[in-house]
Structure 1
Amino acid sequence: MSVLIRLANRSMLQRSMALSLSRSIKTSQKKDDTAAVITPSSKEDFANPNPKNWVSYGFDYKDKTNDRNTTKLSFFTAVTLCLVWGTFLWSYSPDPQLRDWAQREAYLELRRREQAGVDLVNPNYVDPASFNLPSDEELGDVEIII
């Protein structure tokens, strides 16, 4: 199996070397004929050139200035308004679920109970008379994990 893999790798290496040796840059003597340069023929054409070789950003395919203005406006809106101000508002907006307030209140309540010398958590938070626990005889050998 390993022999087949080595032979396959060797043949692929030889093919890639042959391809890289056969590839070369070829130039033509007619290189001036490949690009068409439009030069203004009159004073009006020279004063108001028509930009034929512009690439549209996809907002307007006929008017260059409208295309550029719409592009700049959309990028300004997307980056500045959405990303920058959106991140700022999301970071500094108040806590809608009041997690910070609940934690602050819990620390204040713990400090108040420590200063008063009371248990931090009341062992009779739920009234023991409101529910029935099984007796020790009913539990028997059941392991209780607290």
Structure 2
Amino acid sequence: MAALGRALRALKAGALRAGARGRSAGPPGAVVLPRAPLGADPHEEEPMMVAQRKNPDYHGFSAEPDADVINMRAVFFAGISVAIVLGTVFLHYLPDYGLRQWARREAEMRIRERESRGLPLLDPNYYDPARLALPPPE
């Protein structure tokens, strides 16, 4: 904190030695505003339509300002409304990718079947060892 105070004092002293360099020539706090051309009312604003014809908003769809706005709105409508809404509906109604729902239903059916027979849910021998053709022990 002390170093910051010394740095500020050094800057202030350097500014005092510099004299008027870097300062305005007028009294402190005086600000000079640019003058309006003769005959022009500084408080008069041009109508919005005239200002937009002079400096139209350019969206990059057409060189004509009216066609540019229409094309921009059409692209945003298609991009947001159609692509996002219809794309979401399309993805929602896609068929069961990876057969996840089918696998779940099949597993539930097999669990109910094994519970009704009184068998364990998981059997250590996935295949019946008596039906497997194993190689000779040699």
Whether TM-score is above 0.5 comes out as yes
Match of 2:69 in 1: 68
Q: Deviations over 1:73-131 (max 9, x none)?
A: 10011101111111222233222111111011101110111112122222321344637
Q: Which secondary structure does the structure 2 equivalent of 1:109 belong to?
A: helix
Q: What letter matches 2:98 in structure 1?
A: Q
CA shift in 2, pair 1:36/1:82, >3 Å: same
Q: Percent identity?
A: 29
**May I ask how many residue pairs the two structures share in their alignment?**
110
Q: Does 1:96 align with 2:62?
A: no
Match of 1:114 in 2: 115
CA shift in 2, pair 1:101/1:132, >3 Å: farther
Q: CA RMSD in A?
A: 4.1
1:1-146 alignment runs, 5 A limit: 6-7=3-4, 11=8, 27-30=33-36, 32=40, 51-61=53-63, 63-128=64-129, 130=134
In 1, the alpha carbon distance for the partners of 2:62 and 2:70 equals 10
Could you state the TM-score of these two structures normalised by the residue count of structure 2? Answer: 0.58
In 2, the alpha carbon distance for the partners of 1:131 and 1:76 equals 68
Could you state the TM-score of these two structures normalised by the residue count of structure 1? Answer: 0.56
In 1, the alpha carbon distance for the partners of 2:32 and 2:60 equals 35
Q: Which secondary structure does the structure 1 equivalent of 2:98 belong to?
A: coil
Match of 1:141 in 2: none
Measure how far apart 1:36 and its partner are. Answer: 9.6
In 1, the alpha carbon distance for the partners of 2:29 and 2:87 equals 52
In 2, the alpha carbon distance for the partners of 1:59 and 1:113 equals 66
With 77-86 and 88-97 compared, the bigger mean Cα shift is at: 88-97
In 1, the alpha carbon distance for the partners of 2:31 and 2:101 equals 68
